[in-house]
Amino acid sequence: MTAVGQTRRRMLLLALSILSACSMWHFVTHVWGAGQSAEFSDLYARWWGAHELLLHRRDPYSPAVTREIQIVIYGAPVATSNPGDAAELAGGFAYPIYVAFLMWPTVYLSFPVAQAIFLGLFVALTLVSLRLWLYALRWRLPATEFGILAVFTLGSFPVLQGLKLQNLSLLVAFLAAAAMASLAADYFVVAGLLLAGATIKPQFVILLIPWLALWIMGDWQRRRRLALSFLAAMSGLILGSEMLAPGWITRFLTVVRAYRHYTFGHSLLDVWFTPRIGAVVAAMLLLAVLALGWRCRSCPAQSSRFFLASSLMLATTLVVIPTLEPHSHLLLLPGILFLLRYGGAIWRASKLARLLLTAAWILVGWAWVAAFGMTLAAIWLPAGTLLKFWELPLYTSPLVPFGILVVLGFLLGNEAGIFRTGSMIFEA
């Protein structure tokens, strides 16, 4: 392709990314978020719980603190007809107590100031996460191409939803990206510390940690620093939390059980099957992907196969954990980048590879297409009519992790030669 052709292609992709991001922003702010209380925030429970724990030594899991949180985000405490109902804990402090250590710098500020800080921080960390995943993938992009990916990333529903809700998923996604990039740079101690920090959302790393444990076994002498630093950091977090709030683990587990009842605490497999059968299928799926990972245990952290295996673990996590929240899909970013990086080679591998890749891109791209359609429709249709179709851009959302899992699992299982003959979506 000539230089002029490359420039035109990049400008077209840049315009498409901006159009997609603006359409998704319009959908999130005017349709999906319409009528949402200005006080509603996923961040508030974490901030207020940390505020009360660190400044007043109050238990953030206590009913009193939970009611104070509910008054702010819901306007009143949650009332139930049955005392002890799980719904009484709705909206409360549902994180490990050591998340307070991360919130500590903001507990002396007013919440609006803390919100503004975290909003800017989340945007910055999302961009840094993208750069870190690219580093771990060994994919160097010129500034224009990185800008295109950055606009698509910031303009995706998972990121915009996370920003709208001020959810710590954005922070945990950054910690996971930083940990994997640290491994690629051979900073094993740093990676262990970052991985421990990511356990503020333990469900996000519930499969990544066992996979890395298998990987460590592939070269214990060299990789043991990762295990030792992770265990040391986790010991420090747990013991430090115990000093602040003795017995917190029992209360945290109680809150977690309640959380699954007052939210839609089901995985995609639970929806497709039943919670009981879904658990069995999830266990089988976990064993299958760990078996695939076992074949990569000797791969260096800089290799494409290691990156692919890690991306597969993160995609599988989103299929088996009991949540369908799109903001968790930031964990799919490395898998999506892998498919972009090696898209040409995957396309040439086989008809089945082409079919799976096409299906994955349809699932990922549908949200932008539907959001653009709703943005155009907003020119002629009243807002009330659009609100009736607010789920339209989210129709494929529950299937996106499964689609990415299938194509990544196929690639790792078949080893279709993509590790030797990659082609970039953006030509140099």
> Stretch 197-219: mean pLDDT, rounded?
95
Res 275: pLDDT: 83
> Stretch 13-28: mean pLDDT, rounded?
95
Res 424: pLDDT: 37
pLDDT tens, residue by residue, 353-383: 999 999 999 999 999 999 999 999 988 888 7
Q: Give the span between the Cα atoms of 374 and 396, in whole angstroms.
A: 16
CB 224 within 8 A of CB 260: no
User: Quick check: 55 pLDDT over 70?
Assistant: yes
Half-sphere exposure of 341 (CA within 13 A, CB side): 24
C-alpha distances in angstroms, 346 versus 153, 361, 407, 416? 22, 13, 10, 8
> Stretch 40-67: mean pLDDT, rounded?
92
Res 194: pLDDT: 97
Residue 422 placed within a domain: no
Task: Name, in order, each residue with C-beta under 8 angstroms of 78's C-beta and a sequence gap of 6 or more.
Answer: 70, 87, 88, 90, 91
User: Quick check: 428 pLDDT over 50?
Assistant: no
pLDDT tens, residue by residue, 172-206: 999 999 999 999 999 999 999 999 999 999 999 99
Q: Tell the burial category of 81 from Cβ atoms under 10 Å away from its Cβ (0-12, 13-18, 19+).
A: exposed
User: Quick check: 121 pLDDT over 60?
Assistant: yes
pTM score of the predicted model: 0.93
Q: Identify residue 208 by its one-letter amino acid code.
A: L
Residue 17 placed within a domain: no
Q: Give the span between the Cα atoms of 99 and 50, in whole angstroms.
A: 8
Closest CA to 125 of 158, 190, 194, 171: 171
pLDDT tens, residue by residue, 296-323: 999 999 999 999 999 999 999 999 998 8
SS3 content of the chain, % helix, strand, coil (to 5): 75, 0, 25
Residue 186 is classified by DSSP as T
Kindly tell me the sign of the dihedral angle through the C-alpha atoms of 400, 405, 408, 410: negative
> Stretch 59-84: mean pLDDT, rounded?
82
CB 327 within 8 A of CB 248: no
Range with the poorest average pLDDT among 82-86, 260-264, 372-376:
82-86
Res 34: pLDDT: 81
Q: Quick one: pLDDT band at residue 340, thresholds 50, 70, 90?
A: very high
Alpha helices in 96-207 (DSSP H): 99-103, 111-137, 143-154, 157-165, 169-184, 188-197
Q: Quick one: pLDDT band at residue 10, thresholds 50, 70, 90?
A: confident
Which of the two residues, 371 and 89, has the higher pLDDT score? 371
> What residues make up the domain containing 107?
34-414
Res 276: pLDDT: 87
Q: What is the DSSP string of 29-97?
A: IIIITTT--TT--HHHHHHHHHHHHHHH---TTSHHHHHHHHHHHTSSPPP-SSTT-GGGGTTS--S-T
> Stretch 160-183: mean pLDDT, rounded?
96
Q: Quick one: pLDDT band at residue 418, thresholds 50, 70, 90?
A: low
Res 422: pLDDT: 43
Q: Quick one: pLDDT band at residue 426, thresholds 50, 70, 90?
A: very low
Domain count for the chain: 1
Containing H/E element for 339?
Answer: helix 333-341
Q: Identify residue 262 by its one-letter amino acid code.
A: Y
Residue 70 placed within a domain: yes
Mean pLDDT score across all residues of the chain:
90
Q: Give the span between the Cα atoms of 183 and 187, in whole angstroms.
A: 6
Q: Give the span between the Cα atoms of 194 and 71, in whole angstroms.
A: 34
> Stretch 40-52: mean pLDDT, rounded?
91
Residue 211 placed within a domain: yes
Closest CA to 338 of 129, 127, 126, 137: 137
Res 83: pLDDT: 61
Task: Name, in order, each residue with C-beta under 8 angstroms of 224's C-beta and a sequence gap of 6 or more.
Answer: 216
